[in-house]
Structure 1
Amino acid sequence: MKKSVFVLLALFTITLLQVQAQQQTMPPLVNVNGIGEVRVQPDQVILTMGVDVREKTLEQARKQADSKASAIIAYLKKQGISEKDIQTSYMSIYPIYTSGEYGRTTPDFYTAQKTMTVLVRKLTKFDDLMSGLYGAGVNRVEGVSFQVSDMEKYRNQARKLAVNNAKQKATLLTTELGAKVGRVYAINESTSGGRPMPYAEAAMMKMQDSAGSEGPTIAAGEVVITSNVSVSFIIEN
């Protein structure tokens, strides 16, 4: 027991001495935060849509949903959408009871749902594609989000801007104090961006009113990529 206490005390002492030594040898630092932001027009669309059907029997509902889904996939492929860019993301079949009769075991009908996610790699195709999807059997649009194909390229641009911003801040602070910025002592970075932009309601309206519409019906706006860096520079006299 005494030996264990002695070992723990020795370890604690060594750790304390290491922390003190590190604090004593740490150079004078200037700590700054830098922000870099890049705004890019998206060139791709992720569309989430599907079909809902109601039939008297479970088998009828399943077959009807499968048939409509197959027609939608066939249409997408005909429009040049690659099979790898089409994914069935959700499906369900469940009974619906409209009567509140106690102990009832036979449903009034069955509802079948299938949801698909499609990557449209050419933004200019979106309007025509939506018009055709409505005719192919889509009756539910859950969301539309815009993205940039070469995201890593713009993330790197945002990082460079953030680092330059941090260095400018450090230079300004040290110059005002009659010192200068030395080498980097530590750096941390986080990057965010490419957030989805919901557009479900407008997309559904486009499908329903496609026959009488002219011109583009979506405004993709911009995708914002932001990088934040925390940098510690050594201060030199």
Structure 2
Amino acid sequence: MRLSKIKNGLLLCLLLLPLQAWAGDDEVIAVTGRAEVAMVPDMALVNLIVMREAETAAEALNENSQALEGVLAALHEEGIKSRDIQTSQFSIDPRYIYPDHNKPRQLVGYTVRNGLSLRIRDLSKLGALLDKVVTLGVNEGGNIQFINEDPAEAVKQARVQAVQNAMNTAKTLAEAAGVKLGDLVHLAEQSAPPRAQPVMLETHYAKTAARSAVPVAVGENHYSVSVSMSYEIKQ
């Protein structure tokens, strides 16, 4: 009988151990903090496309190449370095017409597209540069993304502010609950890419219309950081 009671007591202790450990792990204050820092962009990523159509692939390619050479020359004249110019796409596609359902399609020509990705480091030149390359042959594209070449300082500030925000929240909760904060037992970060709206530019102009530099709004990039923190509760 006595041996049976000892066994039952040991079994009860073993069953309680996981529950006690789980309860101890829960004796924390868990909080999150978030901060966002704005930074004015200092660089633009621009995608431009020269598209030409002709009856033969060779003619379309020749016309496209001539137009692209003029665009590249203009970019270099404006101070854009070769390291900031990259071919992003190239394609030669046949063009067909479909007379009706009873006749086969007919080949009527070819389309050649040659795309460039640019890094514009002097944003004060961006509007005039876009206007110039359009007059020289760019007739598709125009997507712009404003970025920061080195956002490290903005991200650092967001980290500091997010941690401080979480710490203040933890102190407020502890005071409201009438307890004291113990050691920090958990800290994790979640950062998000900068939020910036892409700018779409119209690249169709009337040949006789008077025009000035394309208006461009740079705006701001917003770098956000979120952190989660857990503190022990002092007994």
* TM-score w.r.t. length of structure 2: 0.82
Aligned partner of 1:97 in structure 2 is 96
Please provide the CA RMSD for this pair: 2.8
Distance 1:75 1:166, change over 3 A: same
Q: Which SS does the other structure have where 1:133 is aligned?
A: helix
Aligned partner of 2:123 in structure 1 is 123
Q: Which SS does the other structure have where 1:204 is aligned?
A: coil
Quote how far apart the aligned CAs of 1:206 are.
8.4
* TM-score w.r.t. length of structure 1: 0.81
Aligned partner of 1:36 in structure 2 is 35
CA deviations 1:50-99 (Å, max 9, x no partner) are 11110110111122222222221222122111111111111111111124
Provide the rounded CA distance (Å) in 1 between the counterparts of 2:60 and 2:16. Answer: 73
Distance 1:18 1:153, change over 3 A: farther
Distance 1:213 1:74, change over 3 A: closer
Contact 2:194 2:224 in 1 (8 A): no
Contact 1:130 1:206 in 2 (8 A): no
Aligned partner of 1:192 in structure 2 is 192
Contact 2:55 2:110 in 1 (8 A): yes
Moved more, 40-49 or 188-197: 188-197
More helix by share: 1
Moved more, 156-165 or 186-195: 186-195
Aligned partner of 2:63 in structure 1 is 64
Q: Give the percent of matched residue pairs that are identical in Structure 1 and Structure 2.
A: 27
Aligned partner of 2:169 in structure 1 is 169
Contact 2:70 2:136 in 1 (8 A): yes
Provide the rounded CA distance (Å) in 2 between the counterparts of 1:183 and 1:208. Answer: 71
Matched ranges for 1:1-237 at <5 A: 23=22, 26=25, 28-100=27-99, 102-104=103-105, 107-201=107-201, 203-204=202-203, 211-213=210-212, 217-237=215-235
Contact 1:131 1:210 in 2 (8 A): no
Distance 1:90 1:190, change over 3 A: same
Q: Which SS does the other structure have where 1:108 is aligned?
A: strand
Provide the rounded CA distance (Å) in 2 between the counterparts of 1:224 and 1:92. Answer: 36
Contact 1:58 1:110 in 2 (8 A): yes
Distance 1:34 1:206, change over 3 A: farther
Provide the rounded CA distance (Å) in 2 between the counterparts of 1:37 and 1:176. Answer: 27
Provide the rounded CA distance (Å) in 2 between the counterparts of 1:122 and 1:207. Answer: 28
More strand by share: 2
Contact 2:196 2:222 in 1 (8 A): no
Larger radius of gyration: 2
Structure 1 unaligned regions, length at least 5: 1-15
Provide the rounded CA distance (Å) in 2 between the counterparts of 1:63 and 1:110. Answer: 12
Provide the rounded CA distance (Å) in 1 between the counterparts of 2:208 and 2:165. Answer: 48
Distance 1:22 1:84, change over 3 A: farther
User: Which residue type is aligned with residue 34 of structure 2?
Assistant: I
Contact 2:44 2:121 in 1 (8 A): yes
Q: Which SS does the other structure have where 1:80 is aligned?
A: coil
Moved more, 29-38 or 87-96: 87-96
